[in-house]
Amino acid sequence: MDAAAAAARLRIVVPAAAAPRGALQGALERLRRLCAPRHPAPLRLRLRIDDLQGGRVLELDDAGPLLELPLPAGTYHVHSRRGAVQRDYTMVLEPGRPFTLEL
C-alpha cells in the first residue's frame, strides 16, 4: 500500500443523544431520572464497516459521538443499527480526501 492510499480518512458523526457522558454529567442525569418519570434508556449505536471483499474493518457495539479512522482508499460498506432502525451505506474513500458520514 502506498502513502497516498493510506491518507484517506473516514469521519463518522453520531448525534449527541448517543454521546457518552462525563462523570459529573452522568451523576446529574442519574439524579434527574430518580426525580422524573421513567423514560427508556438511549439506544446504543452498533456500527460495522466491511471492505469490498467482505473483510471486517471495524465493529463497535456502542459507537461514540465522533469516530475518525485512517483507512486505505477504496470502497467500504457501513452498517449501522440503533434499536430497530438499520441503515446501510456504501462509500468510496479517495486518497488524500476526508469523507464525512453523518448518522
Is the separation of the CB atoms in 48 and 100 below 8 Å?
no
pLDDT in tens, 5-35: 556 777 877 765 544 556 677 777 777 767 7
* Structure confidence by residue, pLDDT tens digits, 28-61: 777 776 776 665 677 888 999 999 999 999 999 9
Q: 11 or 77, which is more confident?
A: 77
Q: Where are the alpha helices (DSSP H) in the chain?
A: 3-6, 23-35
Residue from 12, 13, 25, 4 nearest 74 by CA: 4
Check residue 84 and give its pLDDT.
87
**C-alpha cell at position 28:** 446529574
| pLDDT for residue 43 | 80
User: Cβ distance 12 to 63 under 8 Å?
Assistant: yes
